[in-house]
Structure formats: structure tokens, C-alpha cells
Amino acid sequence: MSASLLIVADDDRVRGALRLAMEDEGYDVAEAPTTEAALDRLRRRGAPDMIIIDLMLGTMDGFTCIREIRREHHVPIVVVSARDDTHDVVAALEAGADDFVTKPFQIKEITARLRALRRRARLAHERDPGPDDLVLDTKSGPPLVLSRLSGMVRRGEDPVHLTLTEFRLLCELAEAPGRVFSRDVLLDRVWDRGFFGDHRIVDVHMRRLRTKIEQDPSAPRLVVTVRGLGYRLDLHP
């Protein structure tokens, strides 16, 4: 069965070029010219397997579109934009994007990013890194449990909704609790050899992960920064 893809862009030429390329890759493609149209489609038809979003979307920009989608859905999101300064890249990732590609881009770059995201999604469900349930924390309220094979994190009986990237980061750290993982190692494992080679993407997604699993994200106990080295996972069972 073909993977479904929604392209959100107000430029007809960009949407058309992406649609043709993605259909050649085997995707079942839908289009939306505005944020409002994209959100309406998601409400009526549910989330696709993947989404591509252009940041420049007229009355409601791509940052808002991503945030609104993230309220209800955890589908992988790739941003395309001519805006390539540090603020825009970080803001898009903070809003909930998984990947960022700068215009002008080669179609093969977009297809490679989508393939990488699909591999990460498959690995999140197929890898068997050990026992299914790993208790992360019982010291600060209901138990926080990572179920790696089922692709879930729970606090007590309540699910903790992580994006694919956040879940993959947590799983990598959970491979060896107490071990420090450098940003380069995490880029290599989670973003398939380097993404765009920028350590900031790791830091941004770690901040988002902490807001969801830490009792106090400003003073993290689980995902700990080791200055100059990287990150480690400390368990509190």
C-alpha cells in the first residue's frame, strides 16, 4: 500500500513539481494551498503518513500550521523554505517539524529526507532493543514507562505523545542508560548520517522531549546534558 503524503504550499509550481516527483516515488499525494485547507483536510480525512510544509503560506504561516497539526497529530513533517537563517530553522523545529530543507532544493534531496523519515518510522516499530517496557521514572508521580516495541511512552495510564524524532531520540538514549551520547552519534543514528550537519537540531528536539517527559524541564533529571560531551538518560525507577 502506498504511503500517503500531504503537500502544503501556496505556490502552484512548487506543489506541482513536488507532486509529480512524489508520485514517481510511489506516494499517494494530496495538496493544500493554505494552512486552513490543510487543517480542514486533516479534520475530515485524518492525518497522512507524511507532510511537506512551505513556511510561506499567506494569512497563516507555516510555523502556525505546524503547531496546529501538532495539537492533534504526530505525523512526520518536513519543512521547505527559502528562509534559511538560524532563527527560522530553530523556530520550525521548535514548532514541531522533523526536518528542514532550504530552497532552492533538488527534488532528490526531498525524496531522500522522506525515505529517511520512513526508515525511522519503521525502525521505531521493528527494532527489538531489549525488554519492551523500560521504567524511566517512579519518583515524581505515576510511573513513566517507555514501551519501545509498541512505540509508546506512558505516564501511569496516560499516553505521552512524542513525535517520531523525539521517540527515536529517547530510544537511542535508552539503549544504554547512564552512557553519554554525543550529538554527532545522535545525528548519525537518528537523522541518518548528519541531517544538515548542525548540532542545533539535536538540542532543539531534546528541549521538546524534556517538556513532555520531565517534571521540571528547566531542571531535567531524566535527559541530562553533559557539558561538552552530549546527553545521557538517567533512570529513576
Give me the domains of the chain, ranges plus CATH numbers: 4-124 (3.40.50.2300), 129-233 (1.10.10.10)
Of 2, 20, 11, the C-alpha closest to 110 is 20
At 192 the three-state DSSP class reads coil
Determine the pLDDT at residue 130.
47
Of 2, 64, 8, 77, the C-alpha closest to 41 is 8
Q: Tally Cβ neighbours within 10 Å of residue 25.
A: 17
Residue 173 · residue 181 · CB < 8 Å:
yes
Place of cell 543514528: 189
Beta-carbon contacts of residue 221 (< 8 Å; ≥ 6 apart): 137, 140, 214, 215, 234, 236
Helix axes 164-174, 200-213, angle to 10 degrees: 90
Determine the pLDDT at residue 188.
84
41: cell is 483536510
- Per-residue pLDDT of the chain (237 residues), as tens digits, is 689 999 999 989 889 989 998 999 899 999 999 989 999 999 999 999 999 998 877 666 788 899 999 888 888 899 988 776 777 888 888 888 888 888 877 888 888 888 878 776 666 555 444 456 899 999 888 999 998 877 789 999 888 988 888 898 999 999 999 999 999 999 888 876 544 556 778 898 999 999 999 999 999 999 999 999 999 999 998
At 58 the three-state DSSP class reads coil
Provide DSSP, 7-24. EE-S-HHHHHHHHHHHHH
Determine the pLDDT at residue 128.
45
168: cell is 527515536
Determine the pLDDT at residue 105.
79
